[in-house]
Amino acid sequence: MKTKITEKFRTLFGEDGEFFASAGRINLIGEHTDYNGGYVFPGAVDKGIMAEIKLNGTDKVRVYSLDMDEYVEFGLNEEDAPSQSWARYIFGVCRETIKRGGKIAGFNTVFAGDVPLGAGMSSSAALESTYAFALNYLFDCHIDKFELARIGQSTEHNYCGVKCGIMDQFASVFGKAGNLIRLDCKTMDYKYFPFHPEGYKLVLVDSVVKHELASSAYNKRRESCERAAAAIRKNHPEVEFLRDARMEWLEEVKDVISGEDYMRAEYVIEEVQRVLDVCDALERDDYETVGRKMYETHYGMSRLYEVSCEELDFLNDLAKECGVTGSRVMGGGFGGCTINLVKNELYDSFIAKAKQAFSEKFGHEPKIYDVVISDGARKLQ
């Protein structure tokens, strides 16, 4: 990937720049909890975005996407926003950095990525974090790592129309090889947990399906959670987010909120606790409990939060049949991957069965990605 970027950069701009990279992410458990002030448990992976960048002495950004085979040029004022959705991520990062006092000027850049698109591994956060980190470094903005993650999140909110939580960008910026990170999305406290599961592999099975509706459905679920939290807050003023609520407090407002809002809130309150249970289990090397909690999350996402789909439920059922320790839909839902915790001795038979059975039912094979927990945003030597 680096060689191709260098070749294109030289062809377009006639010189060499500096290299930066950031990572996609997995999330072991804690889905749809981040915007509810809860805990998430992500790690950066060995797939991500790489960019070559050099300041060009103008007020224009000249950017080429190798993957899209597309060149875009834009200015740095609000009215200069490019129409191409992929370029808006980079424009948004520039604008959000400027809003925080960073002095950004024109630069030339070529980037490429190997994060599977649509697999729920957050290629967009990897792109945002690569450029947030790089611009902070190149323009000496002195912005801390937390604010770099927020720059990515604000880019999604203000330039890409997705009201995402902070998890994806946090994992891309703070990722550390061999560690998962428990992040409290309310206080922003975080803790690294070494993750070297002896005798197990983490593997993603990508359905290669992305159902439409994902972003509108995401925003609807967020609104459901906010309504449920507001109803509970009337009885318990200390409840700022659903993460502060208890199941018995949700029961108190069961007749006041819709059945749908109740189900969404039930899932979130249970999921916040599951993250803590999984962290406790990992400290005891108790992977059976970790796996059980993953299955519980899938059930909740499928039946209560209703963000799974036929393909993902099929893969989850198949994992159970094959004796896989833990399996669940990963990411926002409506397609993408299941994340699976598989005993080494079951790995080959599970993958073979998943490919064969899925292909027979849906007409195409799923893609398989072994997970390697790696470093987040960084400058490459």
Q: What is the pLDDT of residues 106-150, one digit of tens each?
A: 999 999 999 876 666 778 999 999 999 999 999 999 999 999 999
What H or E segment, with its residue span, contains residue 247?
A: helix 247-252
> CA 25 to CA 12: how far, in whole Å?
31
For the chain, give the mean pLDDT: 94
191 and 223, same domain (yes or no): no
191 and 242, same domain (yes or no): no
212 and 181, same domain (yes or no): no
**Alpha-carbon distances, residue 321 vs 17, 317, 346 (angstroms):** 51, 6, 11
Question: What local confidence, expressed as pLDDT, does residue 317 receive?
Answer: 98
Question: What local confidence, expressed as pLDDT, does residue 78 receive?
Answer: 97
Helix (H, G, I), strand (E, B) or coil at 244: helix
Structural domain boundaries enclosing 65: 2-195+375-379
> CA 22 to CA 109: how far, in whole Å?
15
User: DSSP character for 103?
Assistant: -
> CA 162 to CA 183: how far, in whole Å?
21
234 and 364, same domain (yes or no): yes
Helix (H, G, I), strand (E, B) or coil at 360: helix
Which token pair is 88?
A: 């808006």
CATH number at residue 291: 3.30.70.890
Question: What local confidence, expressed as pLDDT, does residue 200 receive?
Answer: 96
136 and 169, same domain (yes or no): yes
Q: Give 331's pLDDT tier (boundaries 50, 70, 90).
A: confident
Sign of CA dihedral 82, 85, 87, 89: positive
Q: Give me the number of domains the chain comprises.
A: 2
140 and 234, same domain (yes or no): no
Q: Is 284 exposed, middle or buried (0-12, 13-18, 19+ CB in 10 A)?
A: exposed
Question: What local confidence, expressed as pLDDT, does residue 118 receive?
Answer: 66
Which token pair is 184?
A: 């409290």
Contact (Cβ atoms closer than 8 angstroms) between residue 376 and residue 175: yes
166 and 225, same domain (yes or no): no
207 and 303, same domain (yes or no): yes
User: What is the set of active-site residues?
Assistant: 168
Which token pair is 276?
A: 């803590």
Q: What is the pLDDT of residues 217-246, one digit of tens each?
A: 888 999 999 999 999 999 999 999 999 999
Q: Is 3 exposed, middle or buried (0-12, 13-18, 19+ CB in 10 A)?
A: exposed
205 and 339, same domain (yes or no): yes
232 and 291, same domain (yes or no): yes
179 and 212, same domain (yes or no): no
Order across the sheet with 326-330: list the strands.
Answer: 326-330, 335-343, 200-210, 367-370
149 and 236, same domain (yes or no): no
Q: Give 209's pLDDT tier (boundaries 50, 70, 90).
A: confident
Q: What is the largest CA-CA distance in the chain?
A: 67
Residue reference for tokens 């509108």: 216
CATH number at residue 173: 3.30.230.10
> CA 350 to CA 319: how far, in whole Å?
7
Q: What is the pLDDT of residues 278-319, one digit of tens each?
A: 999 999 999 999 999 999 999 999 999 999 999 999 999 999
